Amino acid sequence: MCEANAYLVENDKEQLVMESVDLIEPEGNDTWRLVDIFGEQRTLRGRIRRMELVDHKIVFEAPAD
Amino acid sequence: MCEANAYLVENDKEQLVMESVDLIEPEGNDTWRLVDIFGEQRTLRGRIRRMELVDHKIVFEAPAD
């Protein structure tokens, strides 16, 4: 399966925020709805910095306040 | 491998713009650099509408002018 892990970079630190993400949809400005392969959802504030699909990695960065 | 196909929705029509995409990075406002697994690159104008990773699908929509 080709789900990915979602990471958030904040203060130069990259942390895993959700594993096995299947669906990602925008929910307004710099806000995203993530749904994993088990149907669990979460909302993430940030911008997409990089997607590395072959490496199953989606990296968000916290929005500048 | 977990590359995806990139689609662009324009005037309600979804068209395939690039196959086997590995890397996606922002290149400024509503502009994205896509790199496929063969190293081919292209730039795409649009916003992310939806990612369906298990289905290998990234859907962009053309930005409102």
Query: Residues A22, A64, A10, CA angle at the centre, nearest 5°?
Result: 60
Q: Residue B65: its pLDDT value, please?
A: 63
Contacts of A23 in chain B (CB under 8 A): 50-53
Residues in chain A closer than 8 A to B50 (CB atoms): 23-25
The minimum CA-CA distance between B10 and chain A, rounded to whole Å, is: 17
Query: Does residue A11 register a pLDDT over 80?
Result: yes
* Rounded distance between C-alpha atoms, residue B64 and residue A15, angstroms: 33
pLDDT band at A65 (very low <50, low <70, confident <90, very high): low
Q: What ipTM goes with this model?
A: 0.91
Which residues of chain B have a pLDDT value below 50? none
**What percentage of chain B exceeds 90 in pLDDT?**
89
Confidence of residue A29 (pLDDT cuts 50, 70, 90): confident
CA distance B29 to chain A (A): 11
